Structure formats: structure tokens, C-alpha cells
Copies of this chain bind each other. A is one copy, B any other.
Amino acid sequence: MPDAEGRPEPGAGTVGGARRRLSRRALFAAGGVTALAGGGAAGAVLRARREERAADVIPFHGSRQAGILTPRQRYVRMAAFDLGTGTGRGRAAALLLRWSTAAERLGRGEPPGPELEPPGSRAAETGALAGTSPARLTLTFGLGPGFFDRTGLTAERPEALAPLPEFAGDRLDAARSDGDLFVQIGADDAFVTAHVLRTLQRLAHGEARLRWTMTGFTAADGRRNLMGQLDGTGNPDPARALLDGPGVPGWLSGGSYVVVRRIRMLLDHWDTLPAGHREQALGRRSADGAPLTGGSGRTPADLAATRPDGVPVIAANAHIRLAAPASNGGATLLRRSWSYHDGLRSDGAADAGLLFTAWQPDPRTGFVPVQHRLSRGDALSRYLVHEASALFVVPGGSRPGGYPAQALLEG
């Protein structure tokens, strides 16, 4: 069944075309047989374990980076790093190669390997992931504007990687925004994402410093966010988020641009609204995500429909009207969002909301016009505060032994 958040990678992390998990019970039962019967059954257990692992493996290398069209994992850690002043093109390339080699191994459930430890670092892998499934781990790398300056590639910086404009109502924290290098670490296991982030930090020793990190999660069985809305409804064909065609440089082919926004929800306020008011603000029914003009979650909204008294069924300031491609010159965004809840703010409110990412071939015709409209008139916006923001260019994929953006850095 296709996930509205993105189509499965062809063949990625699949056994026989569908993700398969062997139950622990089956493995333990087989283990019991081993203890009694010896070697033959042990082989079966090892094969079963390998098979279980394979089902949780998403290849790092490929024509595009994993983690864009990959169905959302249950947990994500996003992070941005800043390159050191001394890190030029060669050392940045070496860092990306170290990270990519480690990503490929971690994605298979293997440790990164001692030869990847950077020169001058005394830290080493402690084996925290030993015995742990990679849990569909993906690492997706992006480059911020500063990356091009630090590596002497300012002339190669794509025009579309221009700073995002200020939007109405933005209350951005600079310390949690922007950055030279971006990584999205997705997995079905929060322990895996936490240790992988530490691994990347260790491998960046001397070259790049962690600037910010943010964490998100999704429900196992649902696409609802903490406001109770079904998220990602009405997403476009995910492939439209990718760059392609004759004008695209080779290192960007199959790539994208990702906008990252930390959007705090004013949940204490939201939860006091009458249910009808909440549905009007969104333009969809809470129960099934169908537009207020009827149908199911997959039915397009009829933005022209009016009630007998002439009032539009979907309000003029409803979120789905203002976000609709038809309202934004056809702009389409692939939205992949996670919820976050980082505890209590000093004002007593929940520090909770949406860790939102939007992927598109050009933010100037994607996120920027849509967010301008939403921030000015969207009925939902009064319950949202954008607290962090970043834009990165996401290179295309890489071949085994290589790394994303290799053609840019070694061109």
C-alpha cells in the first residue's frame, strides 16, 4: 500500500517486495531448538536473523539519497553542522566520504570501522549499537550556503539556495536555524538515531561542529500530529520533489531542496477550540482527513463549493485552501513531518509541535510562496509559531565507495 508521505524506494529495504519482520518469538523458539539439537538449527537461526536484518536495511548508495522518498521512519534526528574555518574543499570531501562510508555500514547494522576515525581524534566507537537492528536507518545529507563559501565553491552555489525571506509571524531562534551541513537521520528506533548522531559528531572531529539537533517521532499506525490532524494528506507525487532534466548539474541530478521548520503548536489554546472550529481552520474533517466538501482523505477538496447561503464550504482562510497548489501557481511540496515534544517551556506551555520538512525542486517556487500565503492569512497559523528554519540543497545519490556531492567537490 503506498504511503501518502512517499513511495517506497524500489527494492529498498525489502524482501520479496515488502518489509518483513520475523518475530522475536520465532527467533527465540528457534534458539531453543538450537540448544537441544545443535548445529543444523543454529544455521537456521543465523539465516533467520540475517533475513530479519535485511528487511530493516535501506541501502545508502543509489541514484538518489535515501530518506526523501523512503516512507517516513518512526523517529528522526535532524542536525546541522558548521564547518571549521580551516576546513577547505579537500577536507570537506574527506568528511563527506567518512560520513557516507559510515552511513552505508551503519545502515547494514555494522559499526563504522576504526579506520574511519579522523586524524587527531582520541574517541572510538563504544559498540552501543551491537546487537541492534539498523531499523530502516537512512542518512540524508544536505549543504547550506556556507558550505560553498568554506570550500571555495561560491561560484557553484545554486541560485535557488538563497536565504529564505522572513515570513509574517516568524520567531526564529538563530542558534537552531541554518548551518553548513545538514543530516536527516531516520530510523524506526530512537536509540539508533541517537547513537548515529554521536557517531557523525565523532567522525567530524576537527572539521565540523554540531550546530543544532532536533528530534521527532510519528505514531506507529497513524499520520496524525499532536493537533489531531492527519498529516501529509494531499501530498503530490513524491518524485516531483526531485531535480531532473538537462539544466541540472550532475551532482544535483536526483537531488532536491529541503526546507526544515520547527513549528511549535499552541496546543493549550488549540485543545480548547470547539471541534467544528478546528475543522474549519484546517478545511478537513478530523475523523478521516476528508475535505469538508466530502469524500475521503484522498478526495481533492472542492474549493469552489458553497453552502446554500453562498458561503464557501471551505473557508477563505482555511489551511488547505491557502496551501493548495491551485492557490500557489501550481507549487507543490513533498511534506514529511514528525511530531516533537521536548517537555515544558519556562512559561509552562508544552514545547511541542511539528518538525516539518518540505522537499521541492526549487524553494522559490515551492515553500516560499506557499508559506507567504499561509503566514499572512491561514486560520491555522494563529496556533503555530515557527521557531527554527533552514534551507539546504540535497545532492543526488552516490555510488559505492563515493559520497553525495562528489562530482561537485572533485569536479
Whether the Cβ atoms of B128 and A224 lie closer than 8 Å is yes
Q: Which residues A131-164 have CB closer than 8 A to chain B?
A: 131-133, 135
Closest Cβ of chain B to A52, distance in Å, is 9
| A240 interface residue per 8 A CB criterion | no
Closest-by-CB residue of B relative to A109 is B221
How many copies of the chain does the oligomer comprise? 2
Of A28, A195, A197, A270, most B-chain CB atoms within 10 Å: A195
| A167 interface residue per 8 A CB criterion | no
Closest Cβ of chain B to A366, distance in Å, is 27
A130 to B228, CA, bound (A): 8
Which B residues are CB-close (under 8 A) to A130? 222, 224, 228, 287
Closest-by-CB residue of B relative to A274 is B124
Which of B20, B74, B135 touches A25 (beta carbons < 8 Å)? B20
Q: Which residues A18-36 have CB closer than 8 A to chain B?
A: 18-21, 23-25, 28, 31
A350 to B199, CA, bound (A): 12
Which B residues are CB-close (under 8 A) to A343? 212-215, 342
Closest Cβ of chain B to A126, distance in Å, is 3
Of A23, A126, A197, most B-chain CB atoms within 10 Å: A126
Closest Cβ of chain B to A281, distance in Å, is 12
Which B residues are CB-close (under 8 A) to A122? 272
Using known A-B contacts A123-B268, A123-B272, determine if residue A197 contacts B278 with beta carbons closer than 8 Å: no
Whether the Cβ atoms of A126 and B271 lie closer than 8 Å is yes
Using known A-B contacts A126-B228, A275-B124, determine if residue A191 contacts B217 with beta carbons closer than 8 Å: yes
A28 to B18, CA, bound (A): 11
Closest-by-CB residue of B relative to A342 is B342
Which of B28, B202, B209, B214 touches A348 (beta carbons < 8 Å)? B209
A322 to B152, CA, bound (A): 55
* 10 closest Cβ pairs, A-B complex: A126-B228, A191-B219, A190-B217, A123-B271, A194-B341, A122-B272, A128-B228, A132-B219, A1-B28, A127-B228
